[in-house]
Chain A
């Protein structure tokens, strides 16, 4: 048999149990401040390619915008998002008789001509994202080709370590 509630219990209002958001707000504020502090516009200038693994180095030079291409195990690729476009294949890179890569030479020439036509000052700067396992022989061929096409400032993208 159920007992009838007492008078005080009858008048007791059911209190809503609300979730305390204060601690959550504190956490969010800390995360937000950290993200704003670590945010930098330079990071957006160069995006590491999905087709390679960058080497690590102790460097301080900040990334800058320049003509860019990739040196991967599949050859020299255009630095484009999405589908990869081979500029110089592994057959060119592995050919001992070639010291200048014809595909890359043509690509660099096109870029140079485009700048001349668009009246953009040609600075001879090129940024290369090179795979950490790329052989030295390939690297020399790329540098040599860049030098032949008057690209005298070559920057390699690396992951900064302390």
Chain B
């Protein structure tokens, strides 16, 4: 029969002491890492707005009002929409198609909205133009992208410039307004889906 020896109260007290992990060096490391990462990390999310003036656009240079001068040759009798959005005084937006400048179906104005240009109405208007005048893609065209060194496939439409819009504005128009206009011309949200409108924007000076 084994004899059970009871530990003395002093011994029992000593063995009960808890052993805790020393977290102080880990905390020191954290305190150094966090300011370092905070200084390196980007607090503002930057992006690039790519503006690539098409080669054809620079040759054409004009848009609305130059239909008499630039008559297409027999080989180039493709329909061009020549969509132009013009920001004018009193926050009025003018829309022109097929180089028309007479008020009607192909040239009209969008009055000012609350506190500035009515980009919401413009977005709706561009969507209806896309549906009515451009329609659905009729095919695909491959273009070589020199940046990525790959072939980009772009949809083609019944009008040759189905993805293009020219933008003109008053000389005093701030850059933020131009950016907002470019965003408006690019997409429209329809049933939580983004419908492509006219992503190829060309900045021009109204003559």
Chain A residues near B (Cβ < 8 Å): 18, 21-22, 24-25, 28-29, 31-32, 35-36, 38-40, 42-44, 46, 48, 54-64, 123, 125, 127, 130-137, 139-140, 143, 147, 152-160
Contact = CB atoms under 8 A, between A and B. Distances in A.
Which label, helix, strand, loop or mixed, suits the secondary structure of the B interface?
Answer: mixed
Interface stretch (B48-56, B65-73, B134-142): B48-56
17 contacts: A21-B27, A28-B27, A40-B42, A43-B42, A44-B42, A54-B44, A55-B176, A57-B180, A58-B187, A59-B47, A61-B47, A136-B171, A136-B178, A140-B203, A147-B58, A153-B50, A158-B47
Contacts of A39: 37, 40-41
Nearest to A162: B45
Contacts, number: 147
B172 interface: yes
B15 to A, nearest CB: 15
Contacts of B45: 43, 159-160
Interface of B: 20, 23-24, 26-27, 30-31, 33-34, 37-38, 40-42, 44-53, 58, 146-147, 169-176, 178-180, 182-183, 186-187, 203, 205
* 6 nearest A-B pairs in the assembled complex, by CB-CB distance: A43-B42, A137-B171, A35-B37, A132-B176, A59-B47, A160-B47
B175 A132 contact: yes
A21 B203 contact: no
